Chains A and B, each alone.
Chain A
């Protein structure tokens, strides 16, 4: 990976990528976010979704990324920024801020992906549950609450997924995670923890421990934004009135990040 120094503005991306300032000195909230556009992320992608920069940010910062799924879009709708700088990372720490206020309490069968850490290996070799995603984070409604859901690739011989969830109230939260590659592997997720000392202190809000993801590979690509929507999400939570904010992304190999 690139050096892990935090960029100070916008959707600050530590080391890897970021929603960094664009080259234009006059831009208050620079856009686009990709390197070619003057930002810090490797790529940004939109397919029936809308990305923008907006002010203020979510972390006492000046700017944030906003994303929404366009009304009437299909299941491939995606609006995200992508970091391709990781290289088979066997230990990956990340932290980002997210504002889910406009999504409210999501209904049943309503879900959306907000983060993914992908490997370069598609596994299992056959079947209907092949995936490159070493770990994904999504939001899923139950009708009574919205859950933050972590889904890790795991060689369990059945659906090749290990999952865990925690309730997430509508609003601004910071999500921190630590995932590892190998056997045994772990995925730990913390919500709104100001300081994290190690994988057990404070106790993770989601912990997936001692599973086998060695058939995949280390983290190669990271995506932050909206995608993987369910039909109910697209039907009821699309359009600019359901804009989600992202800010202050940070990633590291070994150390925890905190608020």
Chain B
């Protein structure tokens, strides 16, 4: 069996709503197709402080992507189907840094969505999806990520069996 896996096909290979690698060491590749039905509560808290001074006790689901060459995406948006979850997005190049805080977004209210802008960015990035609450480790829920354009296709794995 031959299996050629590209990032663009990752979501199909994994299937929506299934388990995602969720750490800085093993992030899930984010593609233009986005992801749906991710259980953020299944992740663990790995970025306990964001923007140097903001406590973050909630689980962190980590995605990765690279902005290089041709791409049309300008924003990544998060929505949730969990009414008690107030999503937060932190875009980092140094995954897990407590200080890197150049691009962020947080929902205005529980059950709301937010986005981060990709304008002017280039290079490899990690998208940390967690909760806005600075006191509740339970600020998590089921979320989806949408990308409003194309992202560079990344070769994630190649094998010939």
Residues of A bordering B, CB below 8 Å:
74-75, 108-109, 111-113, 128-129, 131, 136, 138-140, 142, 147, 149, 151, 158-159, 161, 163, 165, 228, 230-232
Q: Please state if A128 and B97 are interface contacts (CB–CB under 8 Å).
A: yes
For chain B, give the interface size range: 20 to 34
- The answer on a CB contact under 8 Å between B49 and A111 is no
Closest A residue to B47 using CB positions: A159
Stretch at the interface among B1-9, B52-60, B72-80, B145-153: B52-60
Q: Are B97 and A140 in contact (CB under 8 A)?
A: no
A134 to B100, CA, bound (A): 17
Q: Which B residues lie at the A interface, using CB under 8 A?
A: 24, 47-55, 88, 92, 94-106, 132, 134-135
Q: Which residues of A contact B95 (CB under 8 A)?
A: 128
Alpha-carbon distance A151/B55, docked complex (angstroms) = 10
The answer to whether A161 touches B98, judged by C-beta atoms less than 8 angstroms apart, is yes
**Is there an interface contact between B94 and A111, defined as CB atoms closer than 8 Å?**
no
Q: Could you tell me the distance in whole angstroms from the C-beta of B82 to the nearest C-beta in chain A?
A: 17
Query: How far is the CB of A117 from the nearest CB of chain B, in Å?
Result: 14
CA–CA, A87 and B47, complex, Å: 33
A230 touching B54, Cβ below 8 Å = yes
Q: List 8 A-B contacts (CB under 8 A).
A: A108-B134, A109-B51, A109-B105, A109-B106, A111-B52, A111-B53, A138-B52, A231-B104
Contacts of B52 in A (CB 8 A): 111, 113, 136, 138, 151, 228
**Interfacial chain A residues near B134, Cβ < 8 Å:** 108, 140, 142, 147
Nearest chain B CB to A108 CB, angstrom units = 5
Known: A74-B102, A113-B53, A129-B96; 16 extra A-B contacts, CB below 8 A, are A108-B132, A109-B51, A109-B132, A111-B52, A129-B97, A129-B98, A149-B53, A151-B49, A158-B48, A163-B49, A228-B52, A228-B53, A230-B104, A231-B103, A232-B104, A232-B106
Taking a contact as CB atoms under 8 Å apart, the answer to whether A230 and B49 are in contact is: no
Q: Does the CB pair A161–B49 fall under 8 Å?
A: yes
10 smallest CB-CB distances across A and B, nearest first, come from: A138-B53, A128-B94, A149-B53, A230-B51, A140-B53, A128-B97, A111-B53, A109-B106, A75-B102, A111-B51
Chain B residues near A231 (CB-CB < 8 A): 101-104
Asked whether, in the complex, the Cβ of A129 is within 8 Å of the Cβ of B53, the reply is no
Q: Report the minimum CB–CB distance from A211 to chain B (whole Å).
A: 15
Instruction: Report the separation of the CA atoms of residues A128 and B48 in the bound assembly, to the nearest whole angstrom.
Output: 13
Whose C-beta in chain A lies nearest to the C-beta of B114? A109
Instruction: State the Cβ distance, B27 to closest chain A Cβ, in Å.
Output: 13
CB distance A111 to B54 under 8 Å? yes
Q: Which residues does chain B contribute within 8 Å of A75, judged by CB atoms?
A: 101-102
Question: Which of B53, B88, B96 interacts with A128 by CB under 8 Å?
Answer: B96
Closest to B132 in A: A108
Query: Is the CB–CB distance between A128 and B100 below 8 Å?
Result: yes
B101: chain A residues within 8 A (beta carbon): 75, 111, 228, 230-231
Question: Which residues of B sit under 8 angstroms from A128, Cβ to Cβ?
Answer: 24, 92, 94-97, 100
Bound-state CA distance A212–B52 (Å) is 19
